Structure 1
Amino acid sequence: MCGMSQQHPVRSTPSRPARPDASMSLLTNVMEYSLDEGYAEAAARRSAQGRSGTPRALRARLWLAAGLVLTALVVTVGAAQARYEAPTEARERQGLIDRIEKGGQDADDLQRSVDDLRGEVAAMQREALRKHGGDRSELVALLAGAVPVEGPGIELVVDDAEDTGAGEGGGPRQSTGFADTGRVRDRDLQRVVNGLWESGAEAISVNGQRLTALSAIRAAGDAILVDNKPLVPPYTLLAVGDGERLSAAFQNSGDGRYLDALQDNYDIRTGISVKDRVRLPAAPGLTVRTAEPVKTGENSTS
């Protein structure tokens, strides 16, 4: 038997049938993948970030909650502290008010005691003047300012100028060293008071302050002190005496003309009027001094 080459049968592999739309690959790709690759990648990134950001958002919410809790705690503690401190402040304030009121009452009591003592001293002084003054005891008490006095007299008002700026000209104050202003000075008031005494006044008061032979008129800055009591303008002087005669004598005196010069040069306002009756209080305090007559012959030489 002659050899014959044995051939294996050829196996046919079934092939995939071709798609009918194989020639339309671009349209097919568009229809099957409608989302562009760039957009798909962006969507995938956002999805990944969303999944990974979930813990971050949770942490933010936790921090926010913690902040709210802390704020509520601070507010609560502050309110509690305010409620605790409010009664303490109220008690301290009430205690301060009570101390002020008590101090005012004590001052009023002391002032009443001072007034009572002054009254007793004045009564003792009047009694001493009555005993030792003889027939002139009332005159001595009047001149000493120990008793109130009432009678006819004059009222003299001296007030600062409306404009207290610098005056013009030399004027009567040129040699006094004062600034040329329209303000009444202590020396002005001294001259007016001395002029009233010289013109025949029996008793004088300035703004209700009774003057005596020991009264002092001084200055403290721009204020005028009468027996250490500060006075404010206008200065009202009441003088007991024969009104018409006292007014004329004062206006014709050198001190009256000095007052007119103040009015002309510095616009200081003045006014004088005769009164049928004026009343002057007693001096608030008196300094009692005694004197003994000098005996003749003790110091003489032979």
Structure 2
Amino acid sequence: MSEPAAPPPEGSTPSPEPAHSSSGTDAAPLRRSWRRIYLMARPRPTRANFFALVLAALLGFAIATQVSETQQQGLEDLRQDELVRILDDVTQNGERLDDQLAELERSRDQLREAGGSEEAVRAAQERFDTLGILAGTVPARGPGITMTLDGDESAVSATTLIDAMQELRDAGAEAMQVDDVRLVAGSYFTDEGATIQADGEALTRPYTFTVIGDPQTLSSAMEIPGGITESVRGRGGRVSVTQLDDVSVDALHSVPEPRFAQPVPEPSPSG
């Protein structure tokens, strides 16, 4: 028989028993913790989630519809600065038309007051000549510039020529033509394969604008950063502008007879 263990000396601290761990006992709380996290993160089919899904689907449909409409309008290839410039051109054209309308109304009132005097006849003739130039039905001559744009379809397209026409108008162009086509308020450009048409007439590369206006102002406007010149050159095209003291815009625009619109008689002053 073995001897009993001697008691520890008086005043000494008994050594602790060695700890015994069980892997199964420690793993159970860990598994329960992960399961709790999974249950908290798991999506629940609540009414709020259902409405969020429906709203997301409607938003996606609206975005797809907007993109489709933009592509149909031919604006999908335009940069943001080009879209902003087109919007500015439309706004400025509207303001310019309002100014012209106000001027016409003033002229009308002056003619009414003058009656059939020589001054009224002279004013009417001056107005007739001005409207003929704006409508493109008479030749025009004066100082201005010629601007030539050259490059392939990626550098110079119908949209490029529209931008050029609008920038020239904004810079004060009074009369202009591209090749042999007179450009007026209703002029338009279209891409027909590798050919560009102006008001239905085919143009040939390079495209030359002949413009009457202040040469220095027109030339400087074409070199504005972000404008037509920088845009064409950035796509590998070429632009050249020449200032001239005498420019002839002799291409004429034929004005069709209105089929449906009829003039409204002016009310009498007494009425």
Name the TM tier (shorter chain).
0.3 to 0.5
The structure richer in helix per residue is 1
TM-score by length of 1: 0.43
After TM superposition, the score normalised by the length of structure 2 is 0.48
Structure number with greater Rg is 1
